[in-house]
Amino acid sequence: MAVTKAEVQHIALLSRLAISEEESERYAQQLSEILDYAAQLNRLDTAGVEPTFHAVPLVNVFREDIQGTPIPLEAALSNSARAKGSFFEVPKVADGS
């Protein structure tokens, strides 16, 4: 299951990660090894087995539509790298607008 360098770079782009050429190569090899290991599961015959969407056999878990108390603004912003007034402040991601 060889993961290519191009795939690693694509995933890095989707994840907004800047990685070097050297890293792309290293991760491609590491990810390939991980996938090969997991691929051992493919040896099992799973014909006729329903896909498992959840590990726990629960259905219809709901909460009622009742408002709780939001956390204070200071607490909401406390973990952010930067804040401005009531806003989180982040580097602008160009989106054409």
Partner 1 sequence: MPEFEPVIGLEVHTELNTASKVFCDDPTVFGAEPNTQVSPISLGLPGVLPVLNRAAFEKALKTAIALGCEIPERTTFDRKHYYYPDLPKNYQISQQYEPLGTKGAVDIHLKDGSTKTIRINNIHLEEDAGKLIHPDTPAARGLSWVDLNRAGMPLLEIVTEPDIDTLEELEVFMQTLRSILRYLDVSDCKMQEGSLRFELNLSMRPVGAKELGTKTEVKNVGSIKAVLRAARYEIKRQSELLEAGERVIQETRLWDDDRGETRSMRSKEVAKDYRYFPDPDLPAVRISADWMGRIRAELPELEDAKRRRFVAEYGIPEYDAGVLATDRALADYFETCCRMHASPKAFSNWIMVELLRELQNREMEIEDCPLTAPRLAELVRMVEQGTISNNIAKDVLKEVMETNESPARIVESKGLSQVSDEAALLAVVHEVIAANPGPAQDVREGKEKALGFLMGQVMRKTQGKANPGVCKALLERELGSG
- Count other C-beta atoms under 10 Å from residue 23's C-beta: 15
Overall size of the chain counted in residues: 97
Nearer residue to partner 1 within complex by CB, 21 or 65? 65
35 touches partner 1 (CB under 8 A): no
Q: What is the DSSP letter of 14?
A: H
Stretch that binds partner 1, among 18-26, 27-35, 40-48, 62-70 (CB under 8 A): 62-70
Task: From 6-14, 18-26, 29-37, 38-46, give the range in contact with partner 1 by CB under 8 A.
Answer: 6-14
